[in-house]
Amino acid sequence: GQSLEQPSEVTAVEGAIVQINCTYQTSGFYGLSWYQQHDGGAPTFLSYNALDGLEETGRFSSFLSRSDSYGYLLLQELQMKDSASYFCASYTGGFKTIFGAGTRLFVKA
Amino acid sequence: SQTIHQWPATLVQPVGSPLSLECTVEGTSNPNLYWYRQAAGRGLQLLFYSVGIGQISSEVPQNLSASRPQDRQFILSSKKLLLSDSGFYLCAQSRSSGYNEQFFGPGTRLTVL
């Protein structure tokens, strides 16, 4: 089967750092993406890792370890506006992406 | 840059009624197009994808169908809606080559009563 596992909820304090983990099991793997979705809105693309290692984009970083079938999204200097759902997604080739169930991030003041 | 339009934004339909949701894309040509459904508080379920006019791949057997009559138009249809068809329907597009970063439209929230 194809699955991506991520925690259902994470809570953190404003200004802190939070890490959202994702483990994947997919037939065919080209890379791991992360998307952010605010309530009632559409998902927006955050990052993509095709190779092992850390990719940094401003306050957000994403990491991939192909040997461990594992990745994470790191959010630094948390702001209230970061409260949203975060999805990891596996690009399996053939124009298809499989999404995880999402992690709901609550940022508290 | 690309823009994705979806309409309607919200829709309430009775069980057994037909459905037609439309998605149009601007600012790109020959995109890969996708229909996803998202149940409340859940992840995205891929329903259909299309790599060109008239080319539709179905991921989940159900009472929905999709068509792509033009390069930048993607339509999701049903002849008879079920209660379980309720959800947030998202159209997305990606480049026709390269990795599969996806850009999503604003979505249609469908409630079947």
pLDDT tens-digit readout, B7-32? 999 999 999 999 999 999 998 888 89
Find chain A residues with C-beta within 8 A of B42's C-beta. 101-102
Identify the DSSP state of B61: -
Q: What value does the mean pLDDT take over residues B57-81?
A: 92
Using only the alpha carbons of chain B, give its radius of gyration: 13
pLDDT tens-digit readout, B95-106? 766 556 889 999
What is the percentage of chain B residues whose pLDDT exceeds 70? 95
The tokens for A95 are: 């124009």
Confidence (pLDDT) at A26: 84
Please count the residues of chain A: 109
Q: How many CA atoms lie within 13 A of B82 on its CB side?
A: 5
Confidence (pLDDT) at A2: 80
Residues A23, A40, A74, A104, CA torsion sign: negative
3-state SS class at B75:
strand
The tokens for B31 are: 């995109």
Q: What value does the mean pLDDT take over residues B34-54?
A: 91
Distance from CA of B10 to the nearest CA of A (A): 11
Task: Check CB contact under 8 Å for A91 and B44.
Answer: no
Average pLDDT over chain B reads 91
Confidence (pLDDT) at B97: 64
Compare CB distances from B104 to A42, A95, A104 and report the shortest one's residue.
A42
For strands B10-13 and B108-112, give the pairing.
parallel
Q: Please, which residues bridge with residue A31 across strands?
A: A91
Contact yes or no for A98/A89 (Cβ under 8 A): yes
Per-residue pLDDT of chain A (109 residues; tens, 9 = 90+): 689 999 999 999 999 999 999 999 988 899 999 999 999 899 999 999 999 999 998 999 999 999 999 999 999 999 999 999 999 999 887 778 889 999 999 999 9
